[in-house]
Structure 1
Amino acid sequence: MNGFGQRLAAMDWRALMRLNLFAGPVLIILILSMMVLPLPPFVLDLLFTFNIALSLMVLLVSMFALKPLDFAAFPSVLLFTTLLRLSLNVASTRVVLLQGHQGGDAAGKVIEAFGHFLVGGNFAVGLVVFLILVIINFMVITKGAGRIAEVSARFTLDAMPGKQMAIDADLNAGLIGEDEARRRRAEIAQEADFYGSMDGASKFVRGDAVAGLLITVVNIVGGLLIGVLQHDLSFANAAHTYVLLAIGDGLVAQIPALVISTAAGVTVSRANTEQDVGQQMISQLFVNPQVLLLSGAVMALLGLVPGMPNLVFLLFAALLVGLGWTQLRRRALAQAAPAAAETVAPVASEAPEASWEDVQLVDTLGLEVGHRLIPLVDHRQQGELLGRIKSVRKKFAQELGFLPPVVHIRDNLELGPHTYTISLKGAEIGRAEVFPGKWLAIDPGQVSGTVEGTATTDPAFGLPAVWIDGGQREHAQVFGYTVVDVSTVVATHLNHLMHLHAAEMLGRDEMRKLLDRLGDDYKPLVEEVVPKLVPLTALQRICQNLLDEEVSIRDLVSILDTLAAEAAQPQDVEALTAQVRIALGRAIVQPWFPGRGEMRVIGLDARLEQVLTQALGGNGALEPGLAEILLEQTREALTRQEAAGDPPVMVVAHALRPLLAGFLRRRLRQLVVLSQAEIPDDRILRVTTVVGARG
């Protein structure tokens, strides 16, 4: 029986959902049919009453909504209610003109009540009241709500790029997930659509007010003509009957229209808070005791003026003064508690105590952009930089073997409009200017012509470059320039700096995650090496040494195998790094000399190598004159090597590699220093340039 009841409930729910699907089309068809089909007076009474109840419900929903999007269906509701009122106007006009000569209740009890009871049966008073309602609705409420909706829509659209960038920054920072980011983006888009729809929907209400006025005029003129000419009524009787019916019909439509317009004004003029409109008004109007006391004093003075309604003014003065006095008492009690606490602990300072919430942690990687560069990181403006940064991080992880930190992107109004900066652990490591809409033509050194534009340098590698317009792109490519867009410039600069500072981005947490990535298959190897033979900090330092010379640590298994074999004897981190480099020799050589061809490298003169070996055996430092000559000749060798199209690789004796790598790479970042022990046995080595041959 219980299972049958559940199936029945599920069937009822599905049936209800199907009815909801047809509710909108059926309602539109019914509304439009009322304009064509004649309706009896009783049905008109039901529909007019439903219209009044619906307008009150809309007003209450708008009053209790905490933010405009809580009533996101309001523009559609506004359209439906406007169509309903116009359809009722058409249906009631038909009944009034056809049966108005039969008496005041010919068009239904509701129209009769509004025509007789609300205006006392005086059609002149009713006409004035109707015109006043139309003026209030058309000139004040609807016009103001439409203007607010228009301005809100404009400001919402202007604020969308900043909001989208804030969401992307939180997503990149890991503060929110993909689902939350998707929900926030949808909410921002829905907010813009809502205010845009409200701007358009307000035109329906203004048009409805004009239509109500014209329909009433038509009813009065048509009723007079029909009553006098067709039903032989006197002009006075026809005016009394048809004008009252027309006024009642207009009032029964305009009052709900006024309520709906008020609801529209409430919806678009409210602020996004955790309170509804009533709570906001009470909490902000009656919270200041000075305002209440001064208002009460002014009302009391007016109440003492001879000829004024003294009782009413003095009553409100007493009420305001009482409320102000109550607020003063509450404020005094609220201030007494902190004063008592200060008495117990007199050394307490007025300033709040510092807490851990005041500590601002620095971002490992940060990108700050000027306001002109915001479209580059905004999806809605077809900004491609965010996608490029994701690709850069993915490629970095595939090449070097660990996941770099998330790039936190922010706008910075203190920067130049076209300037961006890249920071590492709060310190700036790169800065450049880019110009959206232009292209950067980079001179690789063998261009055959020149292009017009703004001369600059490539921010990543310092090559001469020119900012050009899109129309010169093909010409620059023909001349041999490398032409890239703005997003590629920034992404390339970021990628270059990430590779240069890869060692600084490898922390202990990343090291643990790398070990966890090895899984259960290599768990015995990990347990054998870390921390029994090599502490985690030492393993991290070895990997940092490799990364500092752009050696990938993807082959972590080989690194651990080497440490398992070599770390049994006490050795320092530098010696272990040298052993690991020998084990990774083939992987180190492969990026510079792919395939199995001969390796054309820079070498050292035998006499210079002997002098360096003696220096290493002494105090381990280079004599200043020797260091200067070595640096100068190495720079010249690099120039000849690059001119010949060979990689900037120097091969030295194994014992000399740490010394020369540490000395030369600090000054010549493009130089790669390998040891002879790192070269695989099956590779052919050819020295094409010798350092020290000139003595």
Structure 2
Amino acid sequence: MKNRLQKFFAPLGTNRDLLLVVWFVGILVTILMPLPPAVMDFLLVVNISLSVLILLTSIYVRESLDFSIFPSLLLMTTLYRLALNIATTRMILGGAKESGKDAAGSVVRFFGEFVSGSDMIVGFVIFIVLVIVQFVVITKGATRVAEVAARFTLDRLPGQQMAIDGEIANGLIDEKTATEKRQRLMREADFYGAMDGASKFVRGDAVAGILITLINIIGGLVIGMTVIGWDLSQSLSTFTLLTIGDGLVSQIPAVIISTAAGLIVTRTSQPTDLGSEVTGQLFSSPKAIGITAVVLLALIPVGLPPLVLITLAISFALISWLIQKPPEEPPIDEEAPMESRPARSEEIEPVVVEPLELEIGYALVTIVDPADGEGILPRIGKIRAQLSKELGIVVPRVRVRDNITELSPREYRVKLRGEPISRFQVETSSYLVLDSGEGFDSLEGNKTREPAFGVDALWVGPEGRAEARRLGLTVSDPATVIATHLTQLVREHCADFLTREEVNHLIERTRAIAPRVVEELVPAVMKPGEIQKVLQNLLREGVPVRDLETIFEILADRAPRTGNPEVLTEWVREGLSRTICGQHADSSSTLHVVTLDGEVEEFIENAVEQLDGGSFLRLSPQMKEPIIGTVSRSLEVLISDGHPPLVLSSPKVRAHLRRLMEKSVPAIVVLSYNEVAHGFTVESSGVVRVE
């Protein structure tokens, strides 16, 4: 039965936009055409039902933006209610002669008789009270709250936008999250602005209700006495009853919706609905509830009904007793003897290993976060954002703290998962000049080596800095030295930051844009741990993993044939050839390389030994030394010409040559012939031969 109903109403779900069109067309029909009393009864009950539904929805939403259509809904229900007023006015004035008190249907007559009883004045007074409550109290208060909320939202909008920009700069959020936050701010501003305007419709509706009531009574008296021929008593009895019923049946839903509007604009963002928050906060203090019970008992001598006061006092006292928390254990007296102390179990906090730490000596504290904003902390956020965008992974937060016990005053140390990976000593009042051109030898200063790239450098004072800049040399302040060193270390160790948790995050992010690809790959073909090994292999050689859709497509095609992560990495590299070549080519799309002689490649290939866990080179140190030395000398020519140390080899030996050379030339890049993308040219500066 349920499935049949779902199939029957399925077209409504796919064409929900037409429901709004039908709604407004129905409003026009209600205004222009006379309706039978039965239809009018149905429309009035719909009005009451909608108002109750809107009120309950306002109670159960957790924040205002969860009901963002409320301003438009307020306008729609107001127009609908006014259309019903017009239709019932036509029926009251035009059908009273034939139908009497049933001229506007059973609903209008019921409200008129049930509320008024036998006294029309009581019904009229109740109607006026409802209008005053809606117009003066609820609507006016909700309008003022919406106006103030809209003003404050717009006033704080620039500051919130700047805060979002700061979070992006510090790497705390990504661009997608920042866009969502900005859109939420704009939605919030639009919502309160729209609520401010929509509340005016409700105030106008209250005024229209009073005028329509007066028109119905005056018009009914005129029609009853002059057209129908009734006397004054019968005219008053009939038309006043119908008018009051019409006014109540329209104003009661209006009061309910106005109350909903007040709840919406005064709602703050909470993790639960309004009912839970009200009961949770109102009955959160047992002392306040207990005092309330005492106050109720103190009112008995005044003359108020004692039974009511005693009942409520007992109820409040019982609630106060039930919500009281058990007393806390007394503090332990440390001076008391051990045998007299209460037993307790010590909770040992687990040691949290930070992924990345920067420890500094006490003399470097002033350059971490100086007043001018040019210190290390502001730059770390930019470094994280830059590298995350460049590498395609989220660079973890960098924990910065001082370490005066293990470091000298001007020394800093970088730790990876609790273990030191590099350290350096800076001169806080000096500047580091790199040996990047002619004139470096003429400068005087303290010699050192730049920590990030290992080039010769000098620490110079302000006069030396001016001279170095005049010579066109690269000059860095201490904060820049630390930031550059940290950036290079993150690049070198980025594969270690790619945890299993981060891989799952990358998989879910790719699932949002390429669900079929992820579904085909995970977990049917590869597990997250296997994908992690391939991605880490890419990152170790500086290959970004931004294009996860392409990587996953290649893995989905190749992984069914082999589960070897080394082989899969080579296939992925070929698929990312354009990205890899673009990293190392010059402005004319030329790759400057050295190549291997065929005999050298054959020698390396024959030395490869395959095992279950992977492959390795079965070469003694004496056999490795000639290859490493010859390749290193060949790469010096490229480096001296300002090109990256790039070697071109066959696919079979590419990975093994990279592992063979990485300790001697850490920055070496080894490409296979299959990784040279279309549109790039290769220029060889020499061939590596081993005698």
Q: Report the TM-score, using the length of structure 1 for normalisation.
A: 0.54
Match of 1:627 in 2: none
Question: Percentage identity across aligned positions?
Answer: 36
CA gap 1:371/1:144 in 2 versus in 1, 3 angstroms: farther
For residue 16 of structure 2, what is the aligned residue in structure 1? 20
Question: Residue 126 of structure 2 corresponds to which residue in structure 1?
Answer: 129
Corresponding residue of 1:42: 38
Question: CA offsets per residue over residues 520-553 of structure 1, 9 Å max, x none?
Answer: 99969x99xxxxxxxxxxxxxxxxxxxxxxxxx9
Q: Distance in 2 between matches of 1:273 and 1:89?
A: 38
Report the equivalent of 1:100: 96
Q: Quote the residue 2:188 is aligned against.
A: 191
SS at the partner of 1:118? helix
- Residue 134 of structure 1 and its aligned partner are, at CA, apart by 0.9
**Structure 2 counterparts to residues 179-218 of structure 1, below 5 A:** 183-218=180-215
Q: Following TM superposition, by how much is the alpha carbon of 1:262 offset from its aligned partner in structure 2, in angstroms?
A: 0.9
1:607-626 aligned within 5 A: none
SS of aligned partner of 1:58: helix
- Structure 1 residues 327 and 496: CA distance shift in structure 2, 3 A: closer
Given the alignment of the two structures, is residue 313 of structure 1 paired with residue 309 of structure 2, yes or no?
yes
Per-residue Cα deviation, 1:595-642 (whole angstroms, up to 9, x for no partner): xxxxxxxxxxxxxxxxxxxxxxxxxxxxxxxxxxxxxxxxxxxxxxxx
Read off the aligned partner of 2:268 and give its amino acid letter: A
Q: Distance in 1 between matches of 2:235 and 2:353?
A: 80
Structure 2 matches for 1:394-405, cutoff 5 A?
Answer: none
| SS in structure 1 at match of 2:104 | coil
Which deviates more, 126-135 or 225-234?
A: 225-234
**1:275 is aligned with what amino acid?**
T
Question: Match of 1:589?
Answer: 640
Which deviates more, 386-395 or 262-271?
386-395
* Corresponding residue number in structure 2 for 1:258: 255
CA contact (8 A) 2:293 2:317 kept: yes
5 Å-filtered alignment, 1:390-469, equals none
Code of the residue aligned with 2:208 in structure 1: it is: A
Identify the residue that residue 70 of structure 1 maps to in structure 2: 66
Q: 1:191 & 1:178 partners in 2: Cα distance?
A: 20
Partner deviation per Cα, 1:96-151 (whole Å, 9 max, x = no partner): 11123452222212111222211223222222211111111111111222222233
Moved more, 131-140 or 93-102: 93-102
Query: What residue in structure 1 maps to residue 242 of structure 2?
Result: 245
Taking only aligned residues, the RMSD between alpha carbons, in angstroms, comes to 5.7
Please, which of 537, 540, 546 is the counterpart of residue 515 of structure 1? 540
Equivalent of 1:270 in 267, 270, 273:
267
Structure 2 equivalent of residue 146 of structure 1: 143
1:299 to 293, 296, 301: 296
Q: SS of the residue aligned with 2:52?
A: helix
Quick one: structure 1 residues 278 and 510, their matched pair in 2 at CA, closer, same or farther if it must change by over 3 Å? closer
The answer (yes or no) to whether the contact 1:302–1:313 under 8 Å persists in 2 is yes
Correspondence for 1:656 = none
Deviation at 1:268, TM superposition (A): 2.1
- Displacement, 1:68? 2.2
C-alpha deviation, 1:86, in angstroms: 0.3
The Cα shift of 1:326 comes to: 2.2
Q: Is 1:84 aligned to 2:58, yes or no?
A: no
After the TM superposition, which of the residue ranges 499-508 and 144-153 deviates more from structure 2? 499-508
Cα offset for 1:25?
0.3
How far has the Cα of 1:27 moved from its partner? 0.6
SS at 1:104 equivalent: helix
What secondary structure sits across from 1:270 in the alignment? coil
Matched AA of 2:493: R
State the one-letter code of the partner of 2:540. Answer: L
| Deviation of the 1:73 alpha carbon | 2.5
Amino acid at match of 1:295: T
Q: 1:248 to 1:162 in 2, by over 3 A?
A: same
Quick check: 2:78–2:205 contact (8 Å CA) kept in 1?
Answer: yes
- Cα deviation for residue 296 of structure 1 reads 0.6
Report how far residue 323 of structure 1 moved: 1.6
Deviations 1:540-574 (A, max 9, x none): xxxxxxxxxxxxx998999x999x9x9947999xx
TM-score (structure 2 length as normaliser): 0.55
Matches of 1:63 and 1:282 in 2, distance apart? 13
- Give the letter for the 1:153 counterpart: A
The match for 1:640 is: none
Paired AA for residue 82 in structure 1: T
| 3-state SS, counterpart of residue 304 of structure 1 | helix
Distance 1:167 1:113, change over 3 A: same
Equivalences, count: 470
Q: 1:582 to 1:192 in 2, by over 3 A?
A: farther
Letter in 2 for 1:508: H
The 2-side partners of 1:152 and 1:577 are apart by 70
1:283 is aligned, of 280, 284, 296, to: 280
Q: 1:515 to 1:45 in 2, by over 3 A?
A: closer
Q: Contact 1:138–1:206 (CA<8 Å) still a contact in 2?
A: yes
Q: Please give the alpha-carbon distance, in whole angstroms, between the structure 2 residues aligned to 1:371 and 1:249.
A: 70
- Does the 8 Å CA contact 1:167/1:181 hold for their aligned counterparts? yes
Whether contact under 8 Å (1:99, 1:106) holds in the other structure is yes
Indicate yes or no: 2:209 matched with 1:225.
no
Equivalent residues in 2 for 1:507-656, closer than 5 Å: 507-510=492-495, 514-516=539-541, 568=621, 582-591=633-642
Structure 2: distance between partners of 1:65 and 1:408: 35
For 1:104, give the aligned amino acid: K
Q: Partners in 1 of 2:243 and 2:114 — Cα distance?
A: 14
Closer, same or farther: CA 361–97 of 1 in aligned 2, 3 Å:
farther
Where 1:320 maps in the other structure, the secondary structure is helix
- Paired residues of 1:169 and 1:408 also in contact (CA < 8 A): no
Letter of the 1:33 counterpart: V
Structure 2 unaligned runs (5+)?
333-337, 360-366, 399-411, 416-423, 429-463, 468-477, 497-535, 544-550, 552-561, 571-590, 605-616, 644-684, 687-691
Encode CA deviations 1:249-277: one digit per residue, 9 max, x unaligned: 11110000000111111122222222211
- Whether the aligned pair in 1 keeps the contact of 2:35 and 2:87 (CA below 8 Å) is yes
Separation (CA, whole Å) in 1 of partners of 2:631 and 2:91 = 98
> In the aligned structure 2, how far is the partner of 1:9 from the partner of 1:251?
36
Hey, what's the Cα distance between the residues in 1 that align with 2:312 and 2:198?
A: 40
Offset from partner CA, 1:448-488 (integer Å, 9 cap, x none): xxxxxxxxxxxxx9999xxxxxxxxxxxxxxxxxxxxxxxx
Contact 2:492 2:540 in 1 (8 A): no
When structure 1 is superposed on structure 2, of 232-241 and 248-257 the one drifting more is: 232-241
Partner Cα distance (1:136, 1:30) in 2: 30
The residue aligned with 1:51 is 47
- Residues 329-372 of structure 1 show CA distances to partners (whole Å, capped at 9, x for unaligned) of xx12x747999xx999847599x8655569796589x9989999
Relative distance call for 1:424 and 1:349 in structure 2 (3 A) is same
The change in CA–CA distance for 1:408 and 1:206 in structure 2 (over 3 A counts) is farther
Structure 1's 35 and 501: CA in aligned 2 closer, same or farther, altered over 3 A?
same
SS of 1:287's equivalent? coil
State which of 113, 118, 124 in structure 2 corresponds to 1:116.
113
- Take 2:217 and 2:371, find their aligned partners in 1: how far apart are those partners? 65
CA distance in 2, matches of 1:169, 1:73: 31
Aligned partner of 1:30 in structure 2 is 26
Query: 2:54–2:257: 8 Å Cα contact kept in structure 1?
Result: yes
Q: Give the match's secondary structure for 2:118.
A: coil
Distance in 2 (CA, whole Å) between partners of 1:233 and 1:358 is: 93
SS in 1 for 2:34: coil
